[in-house]
Copies of this chain bind each other. A is one copy, B any other.
Amino acid sequence: MRILIINPNTSEDFTRKIAESVQTYAKISSEVVTMTAVSGPRSIECVYDELLSAQGTLEVFLSQKDQFDGFIFACYSDHPVVYAAREITGKPAMGIAEASMHMACLLGHRFSVVTTNDEWEPLLWDAARHYGLESRCASIRTTGLPVLALEEKSDGEVQSLIEKAARLAVEEDGAEVICLGCAGMTGLDKRLEKTLGVPVLDGVVCALKIMEGLIAYGAQTSKVRTYSRPQEKELVDLKDIFREGYR
């Protein structure tokens, strides 16, 4: 089976980290390819960034959609490209936030997300509510770090900030599982698990393992109602590749 992971951030550094993480966990029989959005902001910290990343991410998706069996969008948010991808193809498509939140529900009563800048707190609450998992979410804790600090700061510094926020989530908010709330945090899960004493989930790995399961099962996205195929219409001043979304 062939799985494509698209990084909607244009940070090649994050894409590299993600590629490393998945190599550890991908099944022998899976071929996992990691690509970066062809245009957009280097990091995604708000809805504006998200929208600027959408076309560059969709371009990659549209040009590759016939070559892969499943698609993962490696931005820890309720990124709308996931829904667009589900409309366009019947092959499974998934975000890393929803993957980790659903998996967390199978490991503990409530989970918390530990993420970067403060804007993500309301945005990820909205995501949890959108997934229907609000009652399973203990809290969204932010470290206050900008996303790109994950490239620049030492792993030790980053880890200690995440650890501090995660410990508060466990002790004060009732979290039993921690979800790492940024694609750029990939690779820190097992180290944090040791110091925190609770499961710590990397969304990229969660999405990969669930995706392998969906593909092995032959499970497809429903084409009834919500994710029915987009109807073709005139496109004004957009690249030709976007016509592919209507085919």
Which residues of A are at the interface with B, using a C-beta cutoff of 8 A? 10, 25, 27, 37-43, 45-52, 54-56, 58, 80-81, 83-84, 87-88, 92, 94, 98-99, 102-103, 105-110, 117-119, 121-123, 126, 129-136, 146, 148, 170, 174, 176-177, 190, 197-199, 201, 205-206, 209-210, 212-214, 216-228, 230-231, 233-238, 242, 245
- Residues of B within 8 Å of A41, CB to CB, are 233-236, 238
Q: Closest CB-CB distance, A52 to chain B, in whole Å?
A: 6
- Residues of B within 8 Å of A102, CB to CB, are 102, 105-106
Q: How many angstroms from the CA of A48 to the CA of B11 in the assembled complex? A: 24
Are B222 and A108 in contact, CB atoms less than 8 angstroms apart? yes
Are B87 and A47 in contact, CB atoms less than 8 angstroms apart? yes
Residue picked from A123, A170, A209, most chain B C-beta under 10 Å: A209
Are A83 and B47 in contact, CB atoms less than 8 angstroms apart? yes
Name A209's contact: one of B49, B134, B190, B214 (CB within 8 Å): B214
- Residues of B within 8 Å of A210, CB to CB, are 103, 106, 209-210, 213
Q: How many angstroms from the CA of A55 to the CA of B237 in the assembled complex? A: 11
16 residue pairs of the A-B complex, CB under 8 angstroms, read: A10-B236, A38-B237, A39-B236, A39-B237, A41-B238, A46-B87, A48-B58, A48-B245, A52-B235, A92-B107, A103-B219, A105-B131, A106-B214, A108-B226, A121-B225, A190-B218
Are B220 and A209 in contact, CB atoms less than 8 angstroms apart? no
Q: Closest CB-CB distance, A224 to chain B, in whole Å?
A: 5
Closest 6 CB pairs of A and B: A209-B213, A108-B222, A39-B237, A109-B226, A176-B222, A48-B84
Name A47's contact: one of B80, B121, B170 (CB within 8 Å): B80
